[in-house]
Structure 1
Amino acid sequence: LLGLLAETTAIQAVGTMAVLVVPTIAPKIADALAVPAGRVGFQISLLYLAAMFGSLSAGTSVARLGPCRTGQVAMLLTAAGCMLAAAGNLATLLLGSLVIGAAYGVINPASSDLLMRHVPAGRRNLFFSIKQTGVPLGGTIIGLVAPATALHLGWSAPLWIIAAIAVALACASQPHRANWDAYRDISVKLSGLSLAGFRTLAKNPALFWLASASFCFAAIQLCLLAFLVVLLVEELGFDLVAAGAILAAVQVVGALGRIVWGMLADRARIGLAVLLGLALLMAAASAAVIGLSPAWPKILVVAVFQLLGVSAVGWNGVFLSEIARLSPPRAIGSMTGAAMFVTFMGVVAGPPLFSGLHAVLGSYARSYALLVAFALAAAALIRAAQAHAGHSPSS
């Protein structure tokens, strides 16, 4: 089991590294390609749109090829996308971003199927949550390593390094493939984008409401991470270095929170109740942000954002575990793919909505009213999921 956990966590981390590397070194890329930095920044939206649709292809690939092989394909596509992005012009950068995004969309459906089949029920939330720490881990590695690497070896070097690691991970999975893919069904046809997961989602109210809540959670998480530094610097009197340190701390406590919430959900068998509590904590912490001002003691400002970090960055593992638990056994991949499509919609929609509200209100802090609304909506949706899930274990 430790090998399985290490492999799925590593794939999650490398996928995240590939997603975040271009925004992290965008100024260097813009200089090298002689284009405005804003054009380079556009690629992250394109990438997440590709991830949305990539997640819809995951169900048939997991069923036909097996989750291990699907993860290997995702890593090889990630490598190909990074190499395209490193080719040296804007067109291949955007094409590579599409490939990376499509690969990223199938990672969670594949790993969810693997963990659901091989991890005992009493440890499942913990394993899902540890696997999801690959997201902040990958982001931290890129933030620490990519800028220096680009500075000393050239802007394309981080992309080539990620490509090499992705290929190595795909190869490392091969000895386990026969065991991990024992349940694959070669009679299933690979059909590209599939709406089967959505059809099953619509017929299962608990899954439908839970997936809908992930739209709100993802929007809150992305808004928190995207606008935290500018809020701290422009409205609360922090310098840039301190604001960056607080952002890093938010991600660290979020990663730790994923593990803690996973352990709690396993120990008490209350996965949906944990998610409900996190939604309410997000609402309370977001409401507190609305009232922040430079007069607040800095330690209290930091504490408020750490509460947001442990909740708004800590929900993902328990969510994916509950999606897998509530899914039909042979449809875990397709159901996770459909749920992730909704999640990625929140990623894409959240920051523009927040920016639009800021344009009206003129305050990042007051714009957190949107996050309060998202959090309360998520709480209502999870409560609806609980009502339909009944009293089965972990509900």
Structure 2
Amino acid sequence: MIAAKQASAPAPPLWPAVAAMTALQALVSLALFAPGVVAPRAGLSIEQLSLFSTTAFTISLVSSFWGGTLVQRVGSLRVAALCAVAVCAGMSLALFESGWALLGAGLMLGLAVGPETPASSALLGRLVPAEKRAMVFSIRQTGNQIGAVVGSLLLPPIAVLLAPSSAYAAVIVCAAIAFAGFERLRPAYAMTPPSMPRLGLFDRLRLISADRRMAALAVASIPFSGMQVILNTCFVSFGTSELALSHVEAGWVLASAQGAGLMGRLGWGVVATRLRSARAVLVMAGVGMAVCALLLGLCGPLLSRSILILLTIVFGLTASGWNGVFIAEIAKPGRVAEATGAVLTASFLGLVAAPLLVALLTPRVGLGGSFVALGLTAAAGTAVLLMERSHARE
């Protein structure tokens, strides 16, 4: 009788879990944004910011491989709480405002970036009915832009009016609140997640190389993801150093771009549905981000304020809004998790390599020249998509 009652117990409610997992992604995004948006006030160089980003995403690539195992052992909400602890540790190191401290902050944040997606997927995958899956996961993916917008709007004024350390402290407070929320929800969602596919690095590379379509998507995702991370990390420094914007103004302009990226993550899906082609939307996004990067790098200082803001909004719409359609395009029936993990491994390479490229180029050609170089790589990635599409038609 008792077993029957337990078997018929209602499933935990969906929307608190969606809110928690969206908040987790927003928190991690906020922490990743923090050094970039306070950089002018903190005196951080592009080389230091690049090293921070490269370290964070290198560690996140490694931690993503064991994120699923950790979820299996301790559950999604406990992993979310551990991610909040890693954010607290990373921002606590950033308080010291030195290059080595920022490197340590990147290392700690990488431990949060890798596991947060497996934790969310395992929890929501158990709770979401099939007919709501696309909507729920789209909502969850907006957490990245929510954290970016909040960071771009609030952290520069805090850094200017108080100190950069106060901005980092604000992120620590957010992480502490998130930790308490995750731990409070954890008992209600204490269920064993399904086993998740485990693919090593070489397994993922073999899966990509065996499919020409996936290989083209993987190659294109490298410059696309690189463009996205540099827009997020370096735009405020670019705005203050080369576009004659104040620190707070640069934060507002970046927030506008990230708001456009939020709309893009939802809107591009509608466009892809209307056109019945996610690939066509990815090509449009690639062309858009390439053109915007080239114009911003070549003509940015000459543009009026209104044109600059409009250009940056389109930049955010394309460079920060392509991810949802991309994930939909790489999903293969029967091997969705494996295909997604394999191609996203290539995307991580862009997140790691782009900051290194910018650190190498900026002392020689300035940030404007670095944006031009990234625009050319995005154009090359778009060309790969077009060539593969032409080959498929033939």
Is 2:222–2:347's contact at 8 Å kept on the other side of the alignment? yes
Deviation at 1:101, TM superposition (A): 1.0
Structure 1 counterpart of 2:206: 199
Deviates more, 1:134-143 or 1:93-102: 93-102
- Alignment match of 1:82 (pick from 88, 103, 112): 88
Of residues 246, 249, 256, the one that matches 2:253 is 246
TM-score of the two chains, using structure 2 as the length reference: 0.75
Partners of 1:200 and 1:49 in 2: CA distance: 21
The equivalent residue for 2:8 is none
2:343 maps to 1:339:
yes
Determine the C-alpha separation between the residues in 2 that align with 1:205 and 1:140.
36
| Corresponding residue number in structure 1 for 2:306 | 299
What's 2:376 paired with? 373
Change (3 A) 1:326 1:174: farther
**Alpha-carbon offset, residue 12 of structure 1:** 1.0
Distance 1:130 1:275, change over 3 A: farther
Q: Name the CA distance, whole Å, in 2 between partners of 1:204 and 1:177.
A: 38
Q: Which of 227, 231, 238 is matched with 1:224 structurally?
A: 231
What does residue 327 of structure 2 align with?
A: 320
* Alpha-carbon offset, residue 250 of structure 1: 1.2
Equivalent-residue separation in structure 2 for 1:320 and 1:173 (angstroms) = 28
Q: Distance in 2 between matches of 1:236 and 1:95?
A: 31
Measured in 1, the distance between the counterparts of 2:301 and 2:201 equals 50
Q: 1:106 to 1:319 in 2, by over 3 A?
A: farther
Deviations 1:142-183 (A, max 9, x none): 4526758978989656425404413522542552454xx563
1:356 aligns with 2:369: no
Query: What SS does the aligned partner of 2:194 have?
Result: coil
Matches within 5 A, 1:250-289: 250-266=257-273, 268-289=275-296
Corresponding residue for 1:51?
Answer: 60
Q: Deviations over 1:296-344 (max 9, x none)?
A: 4332222222111110111122223333x22644x61x54344333223
Q: Is the 8 A contact 2:90 2:109 kept in 1?
A: no
Which residue type is aligned with residue 315 of structure 1? W
1:393 alignment counterpart: none
| Structure 1, 259-268 or 82-91: larger mean CA deviation | 82-91
Distance in structure 1 (CA, Å) of the matches to 2:251 and 2:227: 19
User: Which whole-Å CA distance do the structure 2 matches of 1:37 and 1:230 have between them?
Assistant: 8
- Give the counterpart letter for 2:75 in structure 1: R
Write out per-residue CA displacement over residues 158-215 of structure 1, whole angstroms, 9 at most, x where no aligned residue.
425404413522542552454xx56337xx8x89x66433333333333332232221
Q: CA deviation at 1:278?
A: 0.7
Q: 1:116–1:243: structure 2 CA closer, same or farther, 3 Å change rule? A: same
Contact map agreement 1:125 1:263 (CA 8 A) in 2: no
One-letter identity of the residue aligned with 2:29: T
Matched, 1:208 2:185: no
- Give the share of equivalent positions with the same residue, in percent: 28
Letter in structure 2 aligned against 1:369: V
Q: Describe the superposition over 1:106-137 as per-residue Cα deviations: whole angstroms up to 9, x where unpaired.
A: 22344356667766777655544432221121
| Preserved contact between residue 128 and residue 318 of structure 1 (Cα < 8 Å) | no
Distance 1:25 1:350 in 2: 20
**RMSD value, Cα:** 4.2
Distance 1:141 1:47 in 2: 20
2:154 is aligned with 1:139: no
2:139 is matched with: 130
Contact 2:258 2:320 (8 Å CA) reproduced:
yes
Report the more deviating stretch, 225-234 or 113-122: 113-122
- Between the two proteins, the alignment pairs up a number of residues equal to 373
Q: Counterparts of 2:307 and 2:42 in 1: how far apart (Å)? A: 38
Unaligned runs of 5+ in 1: 391-395
Alignment-derived partner of residue 116 in structure 2: 107
Q: 1:72 to 1:274 in 2, by over 3 A?
A: farther
CA contact under 8 A between 2:145 and 2:258: conserved in structure 1?
A: yes
- 1:159 aligned to which of 154, 163, 172: 172
Q: Say if 1:386 and 1:294 are closer, same or farther in 2 by CA, change over 3 A.
A: closer
